[in-house]
């Protein structure tokens, strides 16, 4: 009995050190060595200050910016509270929120159908991307607010649209942070 207990304790200690310390340190070291940008959150730095991450959605509420998907993470885009609302499709709170979002979007662009990703949250609540249709829906408002032609804004959307990964995985998407940074570069806000 003592021998079995000693073996169990030693095995617990060995696996704790191996898989709780050594393995994470090796993986972290390799990530820092071979893919530092990805390992550190794909941060965007301007003038020596971190302003955003390419992989975490952020709220853009001004009329001169493209808006992200709604977020269910905490109070909105809180990476420490990532997660979906878990409201089912027949939940009245969800239906009321989506209906209000559709009404607000229709006021912005009454002739176009509202893309679903502009009125529903993603599973994590931190999705940094919208569909090209969601970006196209917002083009008239952004162009009007920035005093740009719709064609110029569409060109920016096209330049910031990523296709399917490896040509067949996922869907085409537009990173909202990247698009808004490109928009600020072309037409700075005052």
The per-residue pLDDT for range 6-36, each reduced to its tens digit, is 999 999 999 999 999 999 999 999 999 998 8
- Position 97 scores a pLDDT of 86
Q: What is the CA radius of gyration of the chain?
A: 22
Query: Domain count of the chain?
Result: 2
Tell whether 126 and 155 lie within a shared domain: yes
- Position 120 scores a pLDDT of 87
Domain that holds residue 119: 42-186
Tokens of 44: 């965007």
Tell whether 17 and 53 lie within a shared domain: no
Name the average pLDDT for the chain. 87
- Position 50 scores a pLDDT of 81
Comparing CA positions, the residue from 55, 35, 32, 53 lying closest to residue 44 is 53
Tell whether 64 and 130 lie within a shared domain: yes
- Position 46 scores a pLDDT of 83
């Amino acid at each position: 009995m003592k021998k079995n207990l000693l073996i169990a304790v030693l095995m617990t200690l060995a696996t704790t050190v191996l898989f709780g310390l050594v393995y994470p340190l090796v993986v972290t070291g390799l990530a820092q060595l071979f893919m530092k940008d990805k390992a550190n959150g794909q941060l965007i730095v301007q003038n020596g200050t971190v302003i955003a991450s390419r992989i975490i959605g952020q709220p853009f509420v001004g009329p001169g910016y493209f808006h992200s998907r709604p977020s269910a993470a905490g109070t909105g885009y809180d990476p420490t509270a990532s997660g979906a609302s878990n409201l089912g499709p027949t939940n009245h709170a969800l239906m009321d929120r989506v209906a209000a979002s559709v009404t607000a979007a229709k006021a912005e662009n009454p002739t176009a159908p509202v893309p679903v990703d502009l009125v529903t949250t993603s599973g994590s609540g931190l999705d940094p991307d919208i569909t090209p249709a969601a970006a196209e829906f917002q083009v008239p408002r952004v162009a009007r607010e920035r005093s740009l032609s719709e064609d110029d804004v569409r060109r920016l959307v096209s330049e910031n649209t990523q296709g399917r990964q490896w040509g067949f995985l996922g869907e085409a998407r537009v990173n909202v942070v990247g698009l808004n940074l490109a928009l600020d570069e072309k037409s700075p806000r005052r």
